Amino acid sequence: MCAKIEDDTLNGELYKNLLKGNRQFVQDTLKLDPHYFENLAKGQSPPVLWIGCADSRVPANQITNTAPGEIFVHRNIANMVIHSDMNMLSVLDYAVNVLKVKQVIVTGHYGCGGVMAAISNEQFGLIDNWLRHIKDVYRLHADELDKITDIDERCDRLVEYNVIENVYNLCKTSIVQNAWHSGQPLGVHGWVYSLKTGIITDLKVSAYDDANMDNVFKFK
């Protein structure tokens, strides 16, 4: 019964091809290093936590030329850091307090569908509640953004502001602040990836302590 459903599914071939691709990956990898998986299975100690967009065109390892084991990854729509998101907080807590990552990087990307949707006045369903946070970022910079008549340009500027705001949101968490207070070296950064060029731009909003944070957000 299940097999029949699978055969009837338009994506049946695609599904099989993914498994075929996996076998190819294993074969190619073992050719270069027969102990690759054996060694990787021993444990992970990635120095970086990546918070990126779920967009299929922005895979953390490939665009930074890094290998499995080098980046701990959390992705959601429009690379958001929302203080009530248990998923993000759990990843952040584990990355900072157990894996002891040295860098947390929020990476947005130009042409982000989530940001574009947030700019519009359309309803998209449940996701509107998620995108609301981006509308809040828009409101903070409405004077500048309203003046940008080209919609793609306006979206890209909001992509940058959204990354900056989410870097700031990371700094506001007790997880990041406690690491700083205890002297654990931890940098928080904001990047934007260009789908058109493949280039990552550092938005230069890095923080290594709470020096530039509004007082009300500082924990003792």
Active site residue 155: no
Which of 74, 112, 155, 156 is catalytic? The answer is: 112
User: Which of 165, 187, 175, 190 is closest to 48 using CA atoms?
Assistant: 187
Nearer to Co ion, 118 or 186 (CB): 118
Our CA dihedral for 199, 78, 73, 106, rounded to 10 degrees, sits at 60
Among residues 53, 133, 156, 189, the one annotated as catalytic is: 53
Q: Does 155 bind Co ion (CB under 5 A)?
A: no
Judged by CB under 5 A, the stretch of 53-61, 133-141, 155-163, 165-173 that binds Co ion is 53-61
Sequential DSSP letters for 127-138: HHHHHHHHHHHH
- Please report how close the Cβ of residue 127 comes to Co ion at its closest, in angstroms: 12
Please say whether the beta carbons of 46 and 91 come within 8 A.
no
The answer to whether residues 191 and 202 touch, using CB atoms and an 8 Å cutoff, is yes
Site residues for Co ion, 86-145, by CB under 5 A, read 112, 114
Catalytic residue among 7, 8, 57, 141: 57
Tell me the number of residues near Co ion by CB under 5 A: 4
53 near Co ion, judged by CB under 5 A: yes
Residue 57 is a catalytic residue: yes
- 169 touches 212 (CB < 8 A): no
